[in-house]
């Protein structure tokens, strides 16, 4: 009888644990577009229906501001962060906010895309280049310097690092290049270039013909082109800035196993194939290239010192605000 009771007790406890996991919810804070994240969650739940995903979506700067305010108040409901800004993710790591996911499935991922301490992991490669309205521009630009021409600068819009994580990386990268630096950005502003908020404001303005040119992440421009907008995109010959849209589990997550499941799935071939279909360069070569994209290896990626970018982050944002207003 004692053995029977012990067996029943073990089965009850096991069943309770499974039931608890079955009803487990994770909260993901992200800067990835809402429609894409809806598709991501649907695909994830097709494989993992036992994990409910709640979402907070905004620009990286607002995501970080929300996290910092919640931490200042005591705690955050966030379990997972997926943002377009390695600098911001590094700051979370330095603040001791990230969980070390030592056994994350990254054997097939290039080590360059992974934090050496395995606190965050790239999920895709995103580059920043030039979008233009094909009804307004007859000769496609090929160089960042083409945007300095008077007719281009006065009809140029770019995302702001005060809102967009990708813009943080792009501005931080450009100011580190000897041939560009702040001098280049100041010339754009003096020529009439303006800063919007995120990349979404850029593609909307260029697609509607309000602006002829934009600085933007490639997938937004190329996805708009596929849907019939009168836009095209170029990867400037001098090189492009790049981000890896890192994902991380917050150390204080109260749904750790479910959060691990979500991160593992993001690093899986199925998720990488979905990323390619959404217009991203996937990290896993086996996932294939997005249709109509050049081979990632064919692009020149501008070098960037992430540690310096983090150290200069506030200074860069203040300087950008001074140059472009905001």
Residue 306 confidence (pLDDT): 87
Same topology, domains 2-123+244-290 and 126-242+299-321? Answer is: yes
Residue 27 confidence (pLDDT): 98
Domain parsing of the chain, residue ranges = 2-123+244-290, 126-242+299-321
Residue 112 confidence (pLDDT): 86
Residue 189 confidence (pLDDT): 97
What is the topology classification, in CATH, of domain 126-242+299-321? Answer: D-Maltodextrin-Binding Protein; domain 2 (3.40.190)
Residue 6 confidence (pLDDT): 44
Give the CA angle between residues 83, 115, 117 to the nearest 5°. Answer: 130
Residue 23 confidence (pLDDT): 65
On whether the 2-123+244-290 domain is CATH 3.40.190.10, my answer is: yes
56-66 pLDDT tens trace: 999 888 999 99
Mean pLDDT, the chain, whole residue set: 91
Structural tokens at position 15 = 């069943």
Regions of the chain short of the pLDDT cut 70: 1-23, 326
Residue 122 confidence (pLDDT): 94
Q: 123, 266 in Cβ contact below 8 A? A: yes
Residue 296 confidence (pLDDT): 85
Residue 89 confidence (pLDDT): 94
Residue 43 confidence (pLDDT): 97
């Amino acid at each position: 009888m004692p053995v029977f009771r012990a067996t029943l007790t073990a089965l009850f406890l096991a069943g309770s644990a499974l039931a608890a996991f079955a009803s487990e919810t994770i909260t993901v804070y992200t800067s990835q577009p809402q429609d894409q994240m809806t598709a991501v969650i649907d695909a994830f739940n097709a494989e993992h229906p036992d994990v409910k995903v709640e979402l907070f979506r905004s620009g990286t700067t607002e995501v970080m501001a929300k996290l910092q305010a919640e931490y200042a108040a005591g705690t955050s409901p966030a379990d997972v962060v997926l943002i377009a800004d390695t600098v911001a993710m590094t700051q979370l790591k330095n603040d001791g906010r990230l969980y070390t996911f030592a056994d994350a499935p990254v054997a097939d991922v290039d080590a360059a895309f992974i934090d050496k301490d395995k606190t965050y992991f790239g999920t895709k490669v995103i580059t920043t280049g030039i979008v233009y309205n094909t009804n307004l521009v007859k000769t496609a630009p090929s160089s960042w310097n083409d945007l300095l021409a008077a007719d281009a600068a006065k009809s140029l819009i770019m995302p702001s690092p005060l809102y967009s994580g990708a813009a943080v990386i792009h501005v931080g990268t450009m100011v580190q290049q000897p041939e560009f630096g702040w001098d280049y950005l100041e010339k754009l502003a003096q020529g009439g270039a303006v800063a919007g908020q995120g990349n979404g404001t850029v593609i909307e303005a260029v697609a509607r013909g309000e602006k002829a040119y934009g600085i933007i992440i490639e997938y937004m421009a190329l996805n708009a082109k596929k849907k019939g907008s009168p836009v095209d995109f170029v990867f400037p010959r001098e090189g492009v800035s790049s981000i890896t849209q890192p994902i991380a589990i917050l150390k204080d997550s109260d749904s750790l196993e479910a959060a691990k499941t979500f991160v593992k799935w993001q690093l899986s071939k199925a998720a990488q194939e979905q990323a390619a279909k959404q217009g991203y360069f996937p990290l896993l070569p086996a996932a294939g290239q997005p249709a109509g994209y050049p081979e990632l290896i064919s692009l020149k990626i501008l070098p960037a010192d992430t540690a310096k970018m983090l150290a200069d982050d506030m200074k860069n944002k203040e300087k950008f605000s001074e140059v472009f207003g905001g």
